[in-house]
Structure formats: C-alpha cells, structure tokens
Homo-oligomer: A and B are copies of this chain.
Amino acid sequence: MSHKSPISNLFFFIFLLCLITLSAASKHHSRRPCHHLVFYFHDIIFNGHNAKNATSAIVGAPAWGNLTTLAGQNHFGNVVVFDDPITLDNNLHSPPVGRAQGFYFYDKKEIFTAWLGFSFVFNSTEHKGSLNFAGADPALEKTRDIWVIGGTGDFFMARGIATLSTDSFEGNDYFRLRTDIKLYECW
C-alpha cells in the first residue's frame, strides 16, 4: 500500500499540470473579454455654414450628389472623412481623451447603412496608442457590431468587437456614437 500512494499522487499532480497547461493554451479562445472599454465620439459634418465647428467633411459623392449636402437615396455613395473628439461620457464638451480619425460612406439606396474604417488615437494619462476598426454599420439597427482589427501601444495586438449605438443625432449635422469595445485577444 505504501507504494501505491506516491504513484497515485503523481497521477493527480500530472493530471493537474496538464489541465493547467490546456487551459493556458486555450485561454485566448475564451469568449470572456480581456478588456472592456466604453467611449463616445461626436461627428459634426460640414454643411457649408459651420466651418468652425465641423469635425468631418464630405469628400466623395455619386453623380447625383455634391460636397456640401448629403445626397438623396439615403446618402448612397457619400464618402465622409472625420476627425472627431472622443469623450468618456455623452457630453460633446467633456474633455476629449483622444480622436476618432477615419472615414465612412453610405452604401445602400433603400435604407441607411454605412461602412466605417477608422482609428481611435489615444494620448491621455489613461491610454496611449491606437485601436483600429472596420466593418459594416447597418445604422438603423439599435446596436451594430464592427470589428477591432488590431492596435498599437497599450492595445498592442488587440482584437475584438466594438458595438456601436447611435446615442443621439440632430438632423444630418450631428451624431454621437456610443462605442462599447470588448477585446478578446490581449497581449
């Protein structure tokens, strides 16, 4: 009997080690986010009269459009470049913690849908570096998932999902997007 005991202990020890190893190996495949962040960004589109406050401008339009008014047919074909302030709450006048820089375009004639490619560029005491996003934005849905394709600095090699929701809008001139970022791969 005295011989059996060390072997069965060993067995248990090995089993434990292998479980730990397995869980370590598959850790980054968990569906629990390793980082969770919420930000707001604010877009004020140039309309010909608001040059001082505007944070974005139309830079592409279809044949039936122009560069100071969003086109008919749900703005299909309008391309907009933006440099928007990012805030921690939903107040446009809160101190910005970074800039959302990139472009979006409207891509459907029948309803509002957009496609976005942009970066969050952080330079605050809390966050340094950038997060990059791309994806389809079916803007009429309450929440829309786009893709976090990677990051730099504090967000080195990050990947995950950003859930957008339109927190507020005023006609065609202003909108505010809540961005709920869940990273599932963190280094």
- Listed in ascending order, the chain A residues whose CB lies under 8 Å from chain B are 3, 6-7, 10-11, 14-15, 17-18, 21-22, 24-26, 28-29, 31, 46, 48, 57-63, 66-68, 76-79, 81-83, 99, 101-103, 105-109, 113, 115, 117-119, 121, 129-130, 132, 134-136, 138, 145-153, 156-157, 159-161, 184-185, 187
Given contacts A17-B14, A152-B145, contact A62 B63 (CB under 8 A): no
Copy number in the complex reads: 3
Contacts known (A81-B107, A134-B117, A157-B185); A60 close to B63, Cβ less than 8 A: no
Bound Cα distance A83, B74 (Å):
13
Cβ 8 A contact of A46, one of B14, B61, B62:
B62
Q: Could you tell me if B118 and A115 are in contact, using CB atoms closer than 8 angstroms?
A: yes
Q: How far is the CB of A56 from chain B (nearest CB, A)?
A: 9
